Amino acid sequence: MPEAYIAPPDLRELRELVRHRRQLVKLATAVKAGVRALLAKHNIRLAASDLDGDTATGLLDALALPGTYATRLASQRRLLLVLADEIAAIEVELHARLSHHRGYCNLLKVKGIGPILAAVFVAEIGEVSRFPTAGALCCWAGLTPRHYESDKTVHRGHISKEGDTLIRWAAVEAIQRQTEPAVKAVKDGIIARRGKNVRNIAKVAAARKMLEVVFYVLRDGQARCLTAAAPAA
């Protein structure tokens, strides 16, 4: 019988921290949406995209909503402060646990991967040697296309999305802003060949490339595609 991977106790604890932070962030996002919905009832739209920023804080302080609406807004703002403190505490704990982890430190050298994403990759992947190839890791994360085959006909569909949702989120998040030239080239190449209508397809392909980079960095300490791209950059 094939053996199932059982994460050791310290890794399971790390996963609990990573997943708990994710839930706290979701709660904070829901509260922020509630704040905007409350303001919309009074035809108020804040000229700030980030409710945690100084601009939004000043605007909210200046608001004078009537009765119960003011009470609700004050409650929501207190919730956001509590959630922000809890999220920050989890992030401090994650860094303390991983500051000497070889794979974590190596991932921080990859453009697009910060402390949170590096912690997600380390915690959710665990022992990278259990994956024989980078493709196997991508398949496990649900970032490979479905494969339909009948006789001599082969069709490839959308990605399976079967597997670790947190890994998929982290891979996509890592290519959203500044990223490695070798990874960015994948997305840019698809858009150049097929047009801007396939941005989502290009994004998924780039995320898959990023996860391949993560595999080699965790396994070998570096990814050769990044080393090769460095002189050109």
Q: Which of 44, 64, 99 is the last residue of a domain?
A: 99
- Whole-angstrom distance, CA of residue 203 vs CA of residue 210: 10
Domain of 183 in residue numbering reads as 103-229
Is residue 3 assigned to a domain?
no
Calculate what percentage of the chain has a pLDDT beyond 90.
51
Number of domains observed in the structure of the chain: 2
Q: Is 83 in the same domain as 143?
A: no
Is residue 207 assigned to a domain?
yes
Q: What is the mean pLDDT of the chain?
A: 86
pLDDT of residue 229: 55
* Cα–Cα nearest to 30, from 78, 79, 68, 63: 79
Q: Is the pLDDT of residue 233 over 70?
A: no
Q: Is 53 in the same domain as 119?
A: no
Look at 224 and 151; give whichever has higher pLDDT: 224
pLDDT of residue 232: 46
Look at 152 and 70; give whichever has higher pLDDT: 70
pLDDT of residue 202: 86
pLDDT in tens, 92-138: 999 999 999 999 999 999 999 999 999 999 999 999 999 999 999 99
pLDDT of residue 68: 93
Q: Which amino acid is at 131?
A: F
The mean pLDDT of 133-149, rounded to a whole number, is 80
pLDDT of residue 1: 61
For the stretch 156-159, contacts whose Cβ atoms lie closer than 8 Å and that sit 24 or more positions apart, written own/partner, are 159/204
Is residue 4 assigned to a domain?
no
pTM recorded for the entire structure: 0.85
Q: Is 156 in the same domain as 220?
A: yes
- Whole-angstrom distance, CA of residue 219 vs CA of residue 127: 9
- Whole-angstrom distance, CA of residue 211 vs CA of residue 180: 12
Local structure of 146: helix, strand or coil: strand
Is residue 110 assigned to a domain?
yes
